[in-house]
Structure formats: C-alpha cells, structure tokens
Structure 1
Amino acid sequence: MQIVETSNEGLKRAYSVTIPAADIAAKIEGEVKKIAPQVRMPGFRAGKVPANLVRKLHGPALHQEALQTSIREALDKLVADHGLRPATQPAVELAEGYDQGADALLTVSLEVLPVIETPSIEGIKLEKLIVPVTDEQVEEAVARIGQGQKTFSDAEEGAAARDGDQIVIDFVGKLDGVAFDGGTAEDAPLELGAGRFIPGFEEQLVGVKAGEEKTITVTFPADYPAEHLKGQDATFDITVKAVKVSGEFVANDEFAKALGLESIEQLRGLLRGQLEQETAGLTRTQMKRQLLDTLAAGHDFAVPPSMVEAEFEQIWQQLTQEAGQEENPEEALKEIEAEKDDYRRIAERRVRLGLLLSEIGQANGVTITNQEMEMLIRQAAQQYREQDRQRFVEYIRSEPLAAAQLRAPLYEDKVVDFLFDKAEVVEREVTSDELQAAIEADEEGNSPAKASETVTEEAPAPKKKAAPKKKAAAEAPADEAPAAAADEAPAAPKKKAAPKKKAVAEDAAPSE
C-alpha cells in the first residue's frame, strides 16, 4: 500500500492512497475459502463446489466487500502512520474508471484536530454567587400551592362578583350574530382575574350577580389557535348561574395531609430543597460562564472549519425556527440576519472551548464509566417509541461517533466540575435579582462553550414518537380553561416569550 500526502494547509490534509490489486485479490480468495463449505450447487455435494464456480457465482459481491474492507484498513493505516486526529469523517473518492483486477487509487481528504498545548489549570479564580433561601420565599411557595388547591363556596345572596371570585356561567359566542362552533358552554366555572379566558372576557364580568344576563363584546387575539377566530370581534350572551367566593387558605398540617404529606413542616422542607436546587443551578451557570471566559481569554488556536460550520448550522436552525414562531417572523428573521457574523463567532468559540475542555479532561484522567454510559443510553432511548428503543441502543453501541455525541454533555460537566475543584473560589451572598442580572450580563457578552469530544456530525436515529395533533380552535388545555368547559371555552392562548438577544449563547450542552 502506498500513501502520499498531497496537501497540508492549516488543519486540512489530503492524501493519495494506492491499494494494490493483489491485496484485494487476496481478500477475495480468503472469503472464497471461508464460504465455499457452505455453498450449495446442483451437481455437487455440499462443501465440494469448486472455488472457481464460487467466484463466478458470488464474485461481484465478494469483490465489493473486499474493496470496502481494504479501504477501511487503508484509512486506519493512514491515520495511525501519520498520527492524525480526524475532526470529521474522512472523505474518500475512488478514482474513476476503476475495474476489478486493477490497483485501487483513492483520494482522501480530511480535517484534523489542532494540537493544543496542555492547558494550565493552576491559578483559576472564580466568584461563587450564593442566594440563601428565605423563610418568606418558602411561605410564598406554600401559598402558590394553596392557590392551586382553592375551594369555592356560594357567596351571600345578591353578592357582586369580584376578582378572585368564581362564577358559574352559560354562554353562547357569536360572530355577526351567528353562533360559532366551540363557542357554547353550560355550567362553566370561571375564576375572575385568573386570565384563563381571552383578554376582556373576565374583566367585563366583574360585578355580575347570580341570575343576571349580560352580553359582552371581545376581540380574539391575532395569535389565537383557531384560524377562523383570529382577530375577530365576537359577542357572548352570558347567563350567570352562581357567584362563589374562595375559602381562606390556611397553611397547616391538614392542608399538607391533603397533599399526601405528613405535616406542613415536611412540605416546607421539600419546597425549601426545591428552591435551593433552583438557585444552585443558577449559581453553577454563572460560575461556569466565568470559567469558560477565563479559558477563552487564555487560549486562541485554529479550529476545524467543518466543525464550526456544523455548529453554526445547528445554531442557525434553532434561531430560524424560533423566529418563524414570532408574531412578526419577517422582522425577526431580519434581526438575526443582521447578527449572522456574531452567531458564527459564537459557533467558533463553542468549538474552541469544547476542544479545550476535552483536552483538559484527557490530560487529567476525566472519564465516563461504563455504568454512566449505560445510564445515558437508557435515558436517551426513552425519547423514542417503545418499538424503536432497542434499535437505538444497538445503534449507539455500534457507532463510536454517535456514542461520543451522546457522551459529550456529561463529559463536559465532569470536566467543569473537575476545574471547579481546582479553582480558587470566593463565595459572595447576593439576592436572586443580582444573580439573575449577573447571568443576563454574561448572555450579552461572551457565549458559553458547546463542548464535543471529536465530531459534530449527527447520527441517524430511529423515528421519534409522532407529536400529538394540535387541539381544535376552541379546545383549551385543562389548565387554561375551566374543566367543565375545557373543549368549548374561549381560552386565552399562551403567549410565546420573545427570545432574548443571542438566546442561543446561553449555557448549552455539548453536541446533541
């Protein structure tokens, strides 16, 4: 086998590889000897079919298999002999006009990972922003649960409904005086001020009394799910059947037991733990960004263009999908187009920091155990349909590149934790607002890394479960409309939060 380097520019390499015809022929002969005992042919006893007939019968398939095996071996030898660390799967082209029996001439091109000087991990200083959880926050969390467990009882006779009260109504919705599908309900409970119906609906019912009939006029939002109702003016003929007031919430053991707990103190303890976990996650995010900024400031090396392009394409796909869901998609697309160079810079930074974290991890013995990998595979398999899960598991176990992609997020977290342990950390107590402000300040500045161990090439996978169809126009989720009228109430559509500028620059997991 002959290997000749034909190009060496930056991180790009190209080679000419010649596989002798004799090597391919030897593999074919080996396969013939292996399968001959199993070949059956009329006129011959089992296992006694002559080799020349076996070659004639299976020749093309045997040759193709031998050629592919030879190419794989040639690539392995090329990588080993030249000490290459491929950043992407090498591109291989077989010379035109190749015929069986001739030498195979290959052109191989690839990008390699940069040689990174082992980063120094000494002297890293980080500030850890600590947010203590207060008793007031715990009580607010208890009260929020209490709000969800409200009970209502009949108000005094003749009482006018106020915000926070519940009314029970019949209603008929009409467009131009004609009732429309899904706009009618009977005995529908509605909590005033909860914002579960379209804007203007609840507000016009403040002050109504049991037995009262009223017609209100509302305008459906421009983003309402039902196409025929978007932006339309409608009237609702309403009959108030009852006015109810909520009972006073008391945080006591009886309330906790209704939730399946032993005492109110157990509930408070659980909620305190949840709040502490939430703030700890934000603290880690802010610390990680400090760490990545420190690493980025101290290292600047060339990164494989193909990896940057793959990362950028993933970022761009996310951004364009989000822009397409905005109220003004064209304006949103124009905005991200104007910042396209910034997002490409973010992609390059992510790749560079990913490679840097990988280098630090390898240099310091950070590994993913077999047990951790098996857990990752099982967790990832859950997103697929039950009949596809085993196929996904087998695919990950047979494809090293796909396994590397799955392993990368956990690997990054373990390297980051390793660096946290090595760093000089100074703690400072702050408020939730101050911590959030620090995180948002980082979002407007440099982006965090998106580490990957070797490649960003996405691997094919089994189909996921089909997404459930969207509900019909007037069908509202149970948490957005009264349960009795869940299929009929003109529920307020959930507003999509506008993405923050450079939202993609927020802390991202490695190759997904």
Structure 2
Amino acid sequence: MLVKELKKNGLQVELKVNIPAKDVTEKLNQSLIKISEDVEIEGFRKGKVPLDIVRQRFGQNALNETLDELVQSSTNEIIRDKKLKLAIKPKIDVKNFGEEKGLEYIMSLEVIPQFKTEDLKKVKLTKFVSEVDEDDYKKTLNTFSKVQQNFEKKDGKKVSVGDGVLLNLKPMYENEIVKEAQIENKMTIVGNKMMIPEIEEKIIGSKAGDKLNFVCKFPSNFPNKNIANKDVKVEIDILEVRVPKENTLDDNLAKSLGAKNLNDLKEKVKKQMQGELDNVSKMLIKKDLIDQLDKIHKISLPQGLVDYEFNNIWAKFNDDKSKGLIDDTDKNKNETVLKKEYKLIAERRVKVGLILAKIGEDNKIEVEESDLKKAIEEEIMRQPDAKDRIIKFYTENSQALASLKAPIFEQKVVDYILANIKIEEKKISKKELLKK
C-alpha cells in the first residue's frame, strides 16, 4: 500500500492511497472462497461449487464486498500507523478499482488539534455557598401539614370551594350511564378541577342529603367523543360534606410521610433543602470554570466537528419550535441571527470539549465500568418500572452507552480540576445565590 499526502491545510489533510492489483485479487479470492463454502447451487454439493462458477454468479457482490473491506482495513491501518486523532469520520472518494486496476482512493480527513493546556493555576474561582434559611425551613415544614390534607365530616355545612364532598354521581345519556364521569361513594374536593366545571358549580351551596337533578352540556374535550358537546342528564346524591382538618406536625404525620419520627422528617427536609442549594453552588462554579478554560485557551477548531455540533443544535431548535417550546428571547429573532448565535454556541461546546478531553488525557482520567454501572443504576432508580428496558437499551446500543459516558467523563475532569486548584469560598444568602 502506498500513501501520499496531497495537501494539508490546518487540521484538514488529504491523502492518496494506492493498493496494488495483487492485493485486490487476493482479497477477492478470499471473499469468493467464503461464499463457496455456504452457497447452494443445483448439481453441486454445498461447499463443493467450483470457484469459477461462484465467480460467474457472485463475482460482482464479492467485488463490492472486497472494496468495502479494503477501504476499511487500509484506512484503519493509516490512522493507526500515522497516530491520527480524527475529529470526524473521513471521507472516501474511490478513483479506480478493479481486479486488474487495483484500488486508488482519496481520503479527506480532519484531525483533532494538538495543543498544550494552559497552567490551571491561571484559573481563579470563587465558590458561592449558602446555608438553609431558618424561616424558609420552617415554612417548608409547615407546608407538609397542609399538603398532607385530611378532612372531617361537618353536619349541616353547605358546600364551598375547598370542601370535600362524598357523593354518588350518575350521568345518563340516551338511557345509558356515562361511565367515564360516574362517581360512586367517593370524595371529591371542590375547586381542584377534577370535575366538569358546570357540575361543580351545581354542587356548591348544597348540603348532605340533597339530591340534585339537572342537564349539563359536557365539554368538547371530554374523553368519550360520543358524549362531547352533548346534553347529559346528571343525578347527584350528596352523602357527606367534609371540611379540611388542620394537621399537627408530629410523629404521626412524619410517619405518614415516610419518616421514622418528626426529628427524622426535620433532618431529611433540611438535608434536601441544603442539597438543592449545594447543587446550585456546584452549577455556578462549573460554569465559571468552563468560562475561564474557554478564555485562557486559544486553539484551532475542526470545522467538521463544529458543523456536526451546530447541525444537532439547529435540529433541536427546529424540533422545539414545531412544538412551541422555544425561548421567548428567540421568538423575535430572524433565522440569520439565530444561526449566528447557535454557531457560536457550537464552537464553544467543541472548544471546551477538546480542552476537557486533553486535560483528561494528560491526567489519565477515564470512565470506569463502575461509573457506567452507577449511572445506569441511577437511571433505573428514576424509572424502576423500566429496569429491563433500560438495561437492554444500554447493553445493546453502543451509541447510547457513549452518550452516557460523555457527561460522566466531563464531570470527572471538572472534579479533578476543582480538586487541584485554589478556590475561594464566599458565603451568601439564598436570594443572592439564586440571582447569580
């Protein structure tokens, strides 16, 4: 195999590759022999078909297979021997190919830039931290007694918004019960928008023992389309009227919320609140770190990688746009402005990715099997019912596993940097932290 460099422009390289005819013939014969071992042709036993007949029948298929295998093996050999780190998959342009011609192709590729990372001591970071505010903590605790709401029966009480009503509700259309709206001996809370508004309005002001009969037009978005926009006869028996009962924040309430006792609940609440503040603090210092790494490094970017990143961002934007999910800040911008802004985002992502990858490589940071296992277990904890599907998805999908690996690697590099530079810590209030 002969390899000649035709041109080199920055990170872009163009190589001319020639593979002699004898290598093509040798590879082609190997393909034909492999085919002959499995093919069945009338008049011959399996595996005993003469090679010239196999060539007549399957020569073109074997030739195509030979081309693919030679291109694949030779490009891999070139990349390995020249120690090339590719930014994207190389482009192959076949110029000549045949058993007598040999193989000639042009390989156009773009490599990852070679650069030295700047001294990390240049990075100056401040970690903003905040502790749980006592008033916020007390307010959060008090919400548990309101969220975990209980009701008690109130004789003679007329129904008002916020009350619980134990009732039977029988909607009839053309002498048949509308089962989707039927309620039998169940409590509903007035005002929580779980019932058709017109029905709820009729219930307000009634009391236990009342029987209501009226006709109600069901809404156009009612699940049963045969009933939507139809006049339905409604019969309601008000069985009990119940009023909200204020809960006492005690051990019993704590246990109903999954805690051992009230002290355990308090500890868990404070720990969760502090965890939320700590996560904000971590996000802020990571953003500051990324900004500074971007600022102190000057490197050439592989255009193919930038284009790939931009195309992904732009596809996501258009998908969000079709669903009405784009940010308000983007709604009034024209396509030219948006593309320019997203191109800058793509360039920054590629640049930061290259910097973190280089720091990780220089310091032998790798994603271990245990890291991947932990990430998959966390995914399963979020979706316990989908355990088998999640495991199958990652074990059978190399791209999915790679997408899982990338953020883990990034975080490990970030953690390494933060552990090896001087960081000033500054205490601020929750309000100040959330403003940053």
* Structure 1 and Structure 2 fold alike (TM over 0.5): yes
- 1:339-384, Cα deviation, whole Å (9 max, x unpaired): 3321221121111111111111111221112332455567779898
**1:326–1:332 CA contact under 8 A, matched in 2:** no
**1:169–1:238 CA contact under 8 A, matched in 2:** no
Task: Give the fraction of aligned pairs with identical amino acids, expressed as a percent.
Answer: 25
**2:133–2:430 CA contact under 8 A, matched in 1:** no
**2:163–2:189 CA contact under 8 A, matched in 1:** yes
Compared with structure 1, are the counterparts of its residues 346 and 274 closer, same or farther at alpha carbon in structure 2 (3 Å cutoff)? same
**2:123–2:421 CA contact under 8 A, matched in 1:** yes
Aligned to 1:311: 309
The amino acid that maps onto 1:350 is R
Aligned to 1:487: none
Give distance in 2, aligned partners of 1:186 and 1:215: 18
Aligned to 2:145: 146
- 1:281-332, Cα deviation, whole Å (9 max, x unpaired): 1111111111111111112323222222222232233333333333999997
Compared with structure 1, are the counterparts of its residues 9 and 171 closer, same or farther at alpha carbon in structure 2 (3 Å cutoff)? farther
**1:171–1:186 CA contact under 8 A, matched in 2:** yes
Compared with structure 1, are the counterparts of its residues 436 and 340 closer, same or farther at alpha carbon in structure 2 (3 Å cutoff)? farther
The amino acid that maps onto 2:253 is F
Tell which deviates more after alignment, 418-427 or 335-344. Answer: 335-344
**1:7–1:14 CA contact under 8 A, matched in 2:** yes
Q: 2:288 aligns with which of 290, 304, 309?
A: 290
Compared with structure 1, are the counterparts of its residues 168 and 309 closer, same or farther at alpha carbon in structure 2 (3 Å cutoff)? farther
The amino acid that maps onto 2:410 is E
The amino acid that maps onto 1:17 is V
SS of residue paired to 2:68: helix
Give distance in 1, aligned partners of 2:243 and 2:148: 14
1:71-470 equivalences in 2 (<5 Å): 71-95=71-95, 98-155=97-154, 157-168=155-166, 189-192=187-190, 194=192, 209-210=207-208, 211=210, 241-326=239-324, 334-335=332-333, 337=335, 338-376=337-375, 386=388, 390=392, 393-396=395-398, 403-438=401-436
Q: Tell me the CA shift for residue 206 of structure 1.
A: 6.5
Aligned to 1:476: none
Q: Tell me the CA shift for residue 7 of structure 1.
A: 3.3
Count of residues in correspondence between the two structures: 426
The amino acid that maps onto 1:393 is T
Tell which deviates more after alignment, 246-255 or 114-123. Answer: 114-123
Q: Which runs of 5+ in 2 are unaligned?
A: none
**2:110–2:302 CA contact under 8 A, matched in 1:** yes
Compared with structure 1, are the counterparts of its residues 213 and 199 closer, same or farther at alpha carbon in structure 2 (3 Å cutoff)? closer
Compared with structure 1, are the counterparts of its residues 79 and 403 closer, same or farther at alpha carbon in structure 2 (3 Å cutoff)? farther
The amino acid that maps onto 2:4 is V
Give distance in 2, aligned partners of 1:60 and 1:297: 55
Compared with structure 1, are the counterparts of its residues 290 and 258 closer, same or farther at alpha carbon in structure 2 (3 Å cutoff)? same
Aligned to 2:4: 4
Compared with structure 1, are the counterparts of its residues 329 and 85 closer, same or farther at alpha carbon in structure 2 (3 Å cutoff)? closer
Compared with structure 1, are the counterparts of its residues 387 and 256 closer, same or farther at alpha carbon in structure 2 (3 Å cutoff)? closer
Q: Tell me the CA shift for residue 62 of structure 1.
A: 4.4
Give distance in 1, aligned partners of 2:164 and 2:418: 52
**2:161–2:190 CA contact under 8 A, matched in 1:** yes
The amino acid that maps onto 2:324 is E
TM-score by length of 2: 0.78
The amino acid that maps onto 1:11 is L
Compared with structure 1, are the counterparts of its residues 69 and 125 closer, same or farther at alpha carbon in structure 2 (3 Å cutoff)? same
Compared with structure 1, are the counterparts of its residues 49 and 181 closer, same or farther at alpha carbon in structure 2 (3 Å cutoff)? closer
Q: Tell me the CA shift for residue 120 of structure 1.
A: 1.8
SS of residue paired to 1:95: strand
**1:204–1:216 CA contact under 8 A, matched in 2:** no
Give distance in 2, aligned partners of 1:194 and 1:42: 77
Choose 1 or 2 for highest CA Rg: 2
Give distance in 1, aligned partners of 2:103 and 2:271: 65
TM-score by length of 1: 0.67
Cα RMSD of the aligned pairs, angstroms, is 4.6
Give distance in 2, aligned partners of 1:336 and 1:216: 52
Compared with structure 1, are the counterparts of its residues 121 and 25 closer, same or farther at alpha carbon in structure 2 (3 Å cutoff)? same
- 1:438-483, Cα deviation, whole Å (9 max, x unpaired): 0xxxxxxxxxxxxxxxxxxxxxxxxxxxxxxxxxxxxxxxxxxxxx
SS of residue paired to 1:339: helix
**2:394–2:401 CA contact under 8 A, matched in 1:** no
SS of residue paired to 2:120: coil
Give distance in 1, aligned partners of 2:325 and 2:52: 71
Give distance in 2, aligned partners of 1:125 and 1:227: 62
Tell which deviates more after alignment, 340-349 or 140-149. Answer: 140-149
Give distance in 2, aligned partners of 1:204 and 1:165: 14
Q: Tell me the CA shift for residue 254 of structure 1.
A: 1.8
Compared with structure 1, are the counterparts of its residues 201 and 147 closer, same or farther at alpha carbon in structure 2 (3 Å cutoff)? farther
Give distance in 2, aligned partners of 1:121 and 1:225: 61
Tell which deviates more after alignment, 421-430 or 367-376. Answer: 367-376
Q: Tell me the CA shift for residue 258 of structure 1.
A: 3.0
Q: Give the structure with the larger helix fraction.
A: 2
Aligned to 1:481: none
The amino acid that maps onto 2:411 is D
Q: Which runs of 5+ in 1 are unaligned?
A: 439-512
